[in-house]
Structure 1
Amino acid sequence: MILFGIKNCDTVRKARKWLENNNYDITFHDFREDGIDEAQIQKWVELIGWEALLNKRSTSFRALSDDSKANINQQTAITLMAQQPTLIKRPVLSHNGHIITGFKAETYQAWLNK
């Protein structure tokens, strides 16, 4: 089980704490320290779609030019997320070939107990 995110993100910290408190063995992958490549993002997009992966509420997204935001599509979203991982909705939890984004304890509980 791999938790992807940024270590100083509050939501990522909540997810890590919840997973550890519930005795899940996780590996943490920090986007800033470890990076993320387009191939990995492409796999995630195939699983949940680029719209679900792209965090349109992030400061990084709001900082994009109006032209960039207006002309975004799957490929440009993947490229942008690889260049600026802060555009990825955090955290991303990967387990058994599936992923989930964001964090809500009840959602994690249900998802991990499938």
Structure 2
Amino acid sequence: MAEKNYVVYGIPNCDSVKKAFTWLEGHKIAYRFHNYKTEGITKSKLDNWCKQLGWENLINKNSTTWRDLDDTVKNAVTTKAEAIALMQEHTSMIKRPVIELDDKVVVMRFNADTYAETFL
């Protein structure tokens, strides 16, 4: 059986990302980490995620990054294209971790039971 090629997207200092790393490693699930801060994120990747999850489900409106934006900027995000452009510019506002296997993607805060249902 081929090994699954999970990719965990996020930023390394995020508590939810750290918990995901610990859980995945504890269950011997291999993954590669994609750091938004150093590697960015492509428009095509965000477009694919938006098609699967909806752009509204990718923006973390509780993030400091989102909250610090001017209300005019926040209110202007009404389409997928606008959301993608903003997420590319401010990657810290993307919910995390985003975990991808092949082209399928999930975004979820860390919860051990949910991770077990999803990855085991």
Same-fold status (TM-score > 0.5): yes
Counting only pairs closer than 5 Å after superposition, residues 22-33 of structure 1 correspond to structure 2 as: 22-33=27-38
Task: State the alpha-carbon separation in 1 of the partners of residues 86 and 113 from structure 2.
Answer: 31
Match of 1:87 among 93, 98, 105: 93
1:13 maps to which of 15, 18, 21: 18
Secondary structure class of the residue paired with 1:56: coil
Is 1:111 the equivalent of 2:100? no
Q: C-alpha distance in 1, partners of 2:101/2:33? A: 12
* TM-score between both structures, scaled by the size of structure 1: 0.93
Long gaps (5+) in structure 2: 1-5
Question: How much identity, in percent, do the aligned residues show?
Answer: 36
Aligned length: 113
Distance 1:109 1:77 in 2: 31
In the alignment, structure 1 residue 64 sits paired with structure 2 residue 76: no
Name the Cα RMSD after superposition.
1.1
What stretches of structure 1 move > 6 A for 4+ residues in a row? none
Q: Which residue of 2 aligns with 1:101?
A: 107
**2:51: which partner in 1?**
46
Structure 2 CA distance, aligned partners of 1:98 and 1:43? 9
Are positions 1:3 and 2:22 aligned together? no
* TM-score where L is the length of structure 2: 0.89
Q: CA-to-partner distance for each residue in 1:10-37, whole Å, 9 max, x for gaps?
A: 1100001100101100001110111111
* Residue type of the alignment partner of 2:119: L
